[in-house]
């Protein structure tokens, strides 16, 4: 498989790293296009793949083109690629930009829209995706292989779920990192050395997620298993609930969802 990645930022690098790790393509079959000379140098140093600053040249003769760019960069990239796509699969990871918008401006139909998240950098991402209705079976399979290299992947037939997933799994790691940061600071506040607090929190969060995944129980049931009547956990949860943690999280996700929809409306 020959792959062109447009955008050598964090997610562009994660895609190159995981495509190589999954042996979907060799170093000589990947090219990364980016306007930044510094990022191009970093990509070459880390992964040993070809680089360029010419998007149109990058997509010539490849099987898949991945648009690892920000929404505000889409117009410029599309104008450079229009007319240079023949049979390539196009995968966009730009938040909020619909399949219809991408296809219409590219004047090209073989398009996939995906939303990976930050843990993709270590092969533990959660990617949701959808595809144009007439996408050929071989391109569908190619898209699934590429996105599965980042971690877990979930296909939605209805595109409306992409913006919702953007607000939950796409932005979700930031919510989790903020909670982790706060929990570490709380441990330090009560007297734990920071290094010790960080170790305790990271393993607790990772272990809790793994336990929920393997035990396949509702989070409320698992929470109740930890919560003894009149105990320390009860007091802590009472403070979290009275502080509005649950409603804050819900409203944060709603705000992220509305923002994702607004990006596609421009």
Which pLDDT tens digit goes with each residue over 1-30?
Answer: 999 999 999 999 999 999 999 999 999 999
**Count of CB atoms situated within 10 Å of the CB of 87:** 10
Instruction: Domain 172-265: state its class.
Output: mainly alpha
Task: Report the pLDDT value the prediction gives residue 188, as an integer from 0 to 100.
Answer: 98
Strand 125-131 versus strand 111-115 pairing type: antiparallel
pTM: 0.88
Q: What is the pLDDT of residue 251?
A: 97
* pLDDT, tens only, 156-213: 999 999 999 999 999 999 999 999 999 999 999 999 999 999 999 999 999 999 999 9
For 129, the token pair is 């995706």
What confidence category does residue 134 fall into, taking pLDDT thresholds of 50, 70 and 90?
confident
Query: What mean pLDDT value characterizes the chain?
Result: 94
User: According to the model, what pLDDT value does residue 125 have?
Assistant: 96
* Same fold? 3-164, 172-265: no
Lookup: tokens for 193: 């050395």
SS3 208: helix
Superfamily grouping for domain 3-164: NAD(P)-binding Rossmann-like Domain (3.40.50.720)
The secondary element (H helix, E strand) that includes residue 127 is strand 125-131
Average pLDDT value for residue range 71-96: 92
pLDDT at 59 over 90: yes
Q: Where are the domains of the chain?
A: 3-164, 172-265
pLDDT per residue as tens digits for the range 246-258: 999 999 999 999 9
114 backbone dihedrals φ, ψ, rounded to 5°:
-135, 155
């Amino acid at each position: 498989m020959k792959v062109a990645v447009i955008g050598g930022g964090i997610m562009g690098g994660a895609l190159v790293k995981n495509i190589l790790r999954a042996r979907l393509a060799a170093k000589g079959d990947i090219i990364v296009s980016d306007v930044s000379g510094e990022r191009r140098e970093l990509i070459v140093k880390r992964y040993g793949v070809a680089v360029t600053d010419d998007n149109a040249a990058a997509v010539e003769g490849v099987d898949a083109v991945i648009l690892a760019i920000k929404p505000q960069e889409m117009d410029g990239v599309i104008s450079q690629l229009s007319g240079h796509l023949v049979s390539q699969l196009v995968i966009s990871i730009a938040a909020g930009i619909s399949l219809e918008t991408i296809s219409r401006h590219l004047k090209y139909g073989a398009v996939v829209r995906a939303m990976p998240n930050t843990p993709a950098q270590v092969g533990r991402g959660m990617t949701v995706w959808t595809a144009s209705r007439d996408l050929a079976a071989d391109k569908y399979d190619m898209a699934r292989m590429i996105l599965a290299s980042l971690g877990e992947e979930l296909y939605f037939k209805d595109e409306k779920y992409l913006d919702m997933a953007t607000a939950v799994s796409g932005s979700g790691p930031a919510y989790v990192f903020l909670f982790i940061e706060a929990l570490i600071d709380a441990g330090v506040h009560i007297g734990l050395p920071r290094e010790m607090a960080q170790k305790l929190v990271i393993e607790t969060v990772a272990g809790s997620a793994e336990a929920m995944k393997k035990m396949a129980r509702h989070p409320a049931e698992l929470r109740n298993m930890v919560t003894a009547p009149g105990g320390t956990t009860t007091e802590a949860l009472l403070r979290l609930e009275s502080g509005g943690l649950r409603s804050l999280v819900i409203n944060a996700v709603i705000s992220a969802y509305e923002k994702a929809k607004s990006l596609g409306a421009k």
